[in-house]
Every structure is written in C-alpha cells, then in structure tokens.
Structure 1
Amino acid sequence: MRSEGVCALELEAVGKVYGSGGGAVTALDGVSVGVRKGTFTAVMGPSGSGKSTFLHCAAGLDRPSSGRVLLGTTDLGKLREKALTELRRTRIGFVFQAYNLLPSLNVLQNITLPMRMADRKPDPRWLREVVEGVGIAKKLEHRPSELSGGQQQRVAIARALITRPEVVLADEPTGALDTRTARQVLDLLRGVVDGMGQTVLMVTHDPVAASAAHSVLFLADGKLAGHLPQPTPDRVAERMTHLGEW
C-alpha cells in the first residue's frame, strides 16, 4: 500500500529473514508501506505476524534482508551504525509500553535527555508547547516515582517529541495502562498528530487503541494483509477475526 502525498516513512518491498538454511524464519515478506506526514497509523496482526520486526526495520534497529526503508529521502540501509544511532536520536521518537524513564532524573531532565545526548539545546518555545500539549507542565520537577502510569507515559511522549522527529514510533503505548488512562494517552497521540502535525506509527494488539488512528494496517504471516481507513473498534476486531486471531 502506497499512500498519496509526502511520506515521512516508506518501506519498499521489505523482507526480513532470521537464521539460514532449514532453520530460516521469514518475519517479513515483501512489505511495502508508505506512511504520510501528519498521519496516525496503527499496525495490527496476530501474534507472530511480523509487527515487532516491522517496527524494528522502520526504526533502523533491524536491517532488512531485502528491500529498503526510507525516512524522508534517507535510505537507512546505506547508513553505518554510528549514523543510524544519530538518526534515531534526532529524527525518530520512540514510545514504549514500559515508559523507560530514568528514575534519578526529574521530568524535565527525562524529556530533554535526547537533546543532551545529541549535544543540542531544546528550543524553549517548542519545549513549552510540548509539555503543555501533553499536560505535564506542572510536573517538571517531579521524579517518575511520584507520577501515575498515565503521567509517566505523557512524559515519555514529550521525550519522543522534543527533537521534533519526522516520525514517532509507538510500541503498545497503552499496554500497561487502565482503560480510562489508555484512552487519554490515545487522545493525546491523536492530538499530537492533528494539532502539532506529527506523524505517528503505532503497533498495538488492541482494536480500541487502533481505532484512535486515522487508518490501520494489518499484517499476517509477515505480509501486508489489508488496510482500514477511519477505523472503529468493531470494524478492527471484525477484520482481525478474518486474520485468525480473534
């Protein structure tokens, strides 16, 4: 599936094989996807469908066995490890199920950590917009242990946004949250896209979470198995049924 418009991220005929010979496992098999700038895309599929590998290849954490991954016009496969690390630090934002905050740092220090690691200073106006946008402007001096799970995930989202990345990759970002808090975080991610013009690609197993996105991509057996625009939880769950998980 190739999206119309300018793509923030493209996978072109990406294949990924782990191992060799008789023990080889094909995790991705010729997947082509274009993620348009300023969109919120969810990726779903049964266990073992290739979701994690898809995300790892998109992030440059795994190198494809075939095909290529483009972040804007940059071919990730042509970068050496040091350049890839720099790219991940500045041009890609990450949000995980485990918030991955450093307990010894306060909220502000956690948010600005990627900038410090890149030896850059955050833009004060953008920092203010981010912390107000995610609703933690009054918590900047707190440590992670003083925050709820939902607040910690808001900090993690702010940290992902601070470098003004070209794409934010979210891996089960609501997996550790209760239903109400998960909804708030999903609304926040959607707001980051609709209000700030960010691009978000989210892997999830939850039809309700997926329904917060503009569209859903389905993977099955390492292949692209469908695309659902304007998803609802019922339509997502029904489509998953045909993929054999539900």
Structure 2
Amino acid sequence: MPTMTAVASPVQLDAVRKTYGSGDSAVEALAGVSVSFPAGSFTAVMGPSGSGKSTLLHCAAGLDEPTSGSVTLVGTPLKGKNETQLTELRRQHVSFIFQSFNLMPALNVEQNVTLPTLLAGREPDRAWVAQVIERVGLAKRVKHRPGELSGGQQQRVAIARALASRPAVVFADEPTGALDTTTALEVLTLMRELVSEGQTIVMVTHDPVAASYADTVLFLVDGSIVTQMATPTVEAVAGTLADLGARAKQARGQR
C-alpha cells in the first residue's frame, strides 16, 4: 500500500459553527464542533435527520466555510484560503465517495479511475491503478463503461477512483446507500481493509451495519456531538440511534 501523507490527524475541527440564514430564520447546522480524525482511522458520523452530518463532512473537506471556528486539513489551516487554493489542496490530498456515483458515462472503468489524477496534472501510477481496480473486483471490466455495469460495480469504480490518487483522507457520504446488502458488505470490507493499511476514512451513514465497520462512531444531534462509541456493534449503534431519535423528537415537541 502506498504511504499516505504523514500527518497525525489529517482532519481537525476546532469549535466549528455553521449557521445558514440570519435573524429569526437562522438555522445552526453545527454548534461548535471540535473533533480530530487520526491517520489510519475509520470514523462513522451518524444522527437523526437534520443533525448536521453532511454539514460536518462538507466543512471538514473545505467544501463549505464555517461561520466560526477553524478546520485544518492535512496540516493546512483552511481559513483565508480562496476557492482555487482549496480545490488544489483537495486534488492533492482528498477524495470523495458519494451515494450517487458521479461517473463519466463516456469513459471506461480505467479512464474514470484515473481522471482525477490527470485533472490534478499528474501522471497516474498505472501499476497502483491496476492494483486498486483488482482490489474492488473489476479487473475483468476495465474497458467497460458505467452503462454496462451494475449499480454495485459502479460504486466500486467510484471507490477505486477515490483511492487511485492516494489521498490522505477519503470522505464518504452514504457510500452504501444505493447498494444491495451483499455488495454493500463487500464495499465495507474493502474500506475496512484499506484503513488497516493506513487510509483515513470519514463516512456519513444512517446504516448501523455500515457504522459497525468503523473504529469509532460519532453521534450528532442538533449540530453537536452528543456521544461517541468505540468498537461499535450493529445492536449498540441501532439502540443509540433509536434513543437519540426519540430524545430529539421529544425536545422538538417541547419547543
């Protein structure tokens, strides 16, 4: 496995607040979150709908600017960086896996996987690309286009694309949400293996099974981390989610 960028915690948030709108219509999506994601760790972010999960991911990745507080990505403070500088930083160090695969329909598997590296102005390491494509089980499909692949295979292409550029950190937003159970477990197993080899993954999910593959689960409610769980199990995660959902519903009823 190639060595990742050597930073003890590739992602750090310090007292991050994010407010949308102003005055009476203001919505606080993040309420002063401080958290760091160590190198070689797999963290799941969970919580009731509207708890701030995607906002946390977007602020951590520099896709959204916090209202206050600071974010450090692979040792670089994001505050004051313009969009060009942020794009360059992400191209060099960050990859994304989304629920929608975002593949280029006219390109085959290999071309889709190497595209971000080429866009960053670098020549892909063809041996590493071939290894990644083999790891996601698509070695015999490299010349196929997305339209010739199943949904699960398309998601595996998206995962290979995320890893081919050797990022310091992968941000995943519901990466198994559109997959059948068998394929989802294969994808999660692959992500788990990559973390054991030094990859850092931050994953937003609503699925207790997906979360059980992580080292740590962070639970968000109303923009705050209310608890976290190490070595999560499906049952423990599901129980905590049910409890938080009931409490959030009760709190809304009392407002």
TM class, shorter-chain normalised? Answer: over 0.9
Aligned partner of 1:222: which letter?
Answer: G
Q: Is the deviation greater in 132-141 or in 7-16?
A: 132-141
Q: What pairs up with 1:72-221 in 2 under 5 angstroms?
A: 72-194=74-196, 196-221=197-222
> C-alpha offsets along residues 101-148 of structure 1, whole Å, 9 cap, x if unaligned?
111000011000101111110112322221222221221111011111
Q: Distance in 1 between matches of 2:246 and 2:39?
A: 30
SS in 2 for 1:219: strand
Give the corresponding residue for 1:29.
31
Q: Is the deviation greater in 131-140 or in 217-226?
A: 131-140
Give the corresponding residue for 2:250.
none
- Contact 1:90/1:114 (CA < 8 Å) preserved in 2? no
Q: Distance in 1 between matches of 2:10 and 2:131?
A: 22
Give the corresponding residue for 1:46.
48
Q: Distance in 1 between matches of 2:120 and 2:74?
A: 20
Aligned pair count reads 241
- Contact 1:15/1:64 (CA < 8 Å) preserved in 2? yes
Distance 1:16 1:129, change over 3 A: same
SS in 2 for 1:132: helix
Taking only the aligned residue pairs, the percentage that are identical comes to 60
Aligned partner of 1:15: which letter?
Answer: R
| Structure 1 unaligned residues grouped into runs of 5+ | none
Partner residue of 2:68 out of 53, 63, 66: 66
Q: Distance in 2 between matches of 1:103 and 1:79?
A: 33
Give the corresponding residue for 1:20.
22
TM-score where L is the length of structure 1: 0.95
Give the corresponding residue for 2:253.
none
Q: Distance in 1 between matches of 2:200 and 2:106?
A: 30
- Contact 1:38/1:193 (CA < 8 Å) preserved in 2? yes
TM superposition shift of 1:245: 5.4
Q: Distance in 1 between matches of 2:173 and 2:83?
A: 22
Aligned partner of 1:234: which letter?
Answer: E
SS in 2 for 1:48: coil
Q: Distance in 1 between matches of 2:114 and 2:246?
A: 40
> C-alpha offsets along residues 173-215 of structure 1, whole Å, 9 cap, x if unaligned?
0111111111111111111211x31100000001111111111
TM superposition shift of 1:172: 0.2
TM superposition shift of 1:72: 2.0
> C-alpha offsets along residues 57-97 of structure 1, whole Å, 9 cap, x if unaligned?
01111000011111121011231110111122221110000
TM-score where L is the length of structure 2: 0.91
- Contact 1:46/1:245 (CA < 8 Å) preserved in 2? no
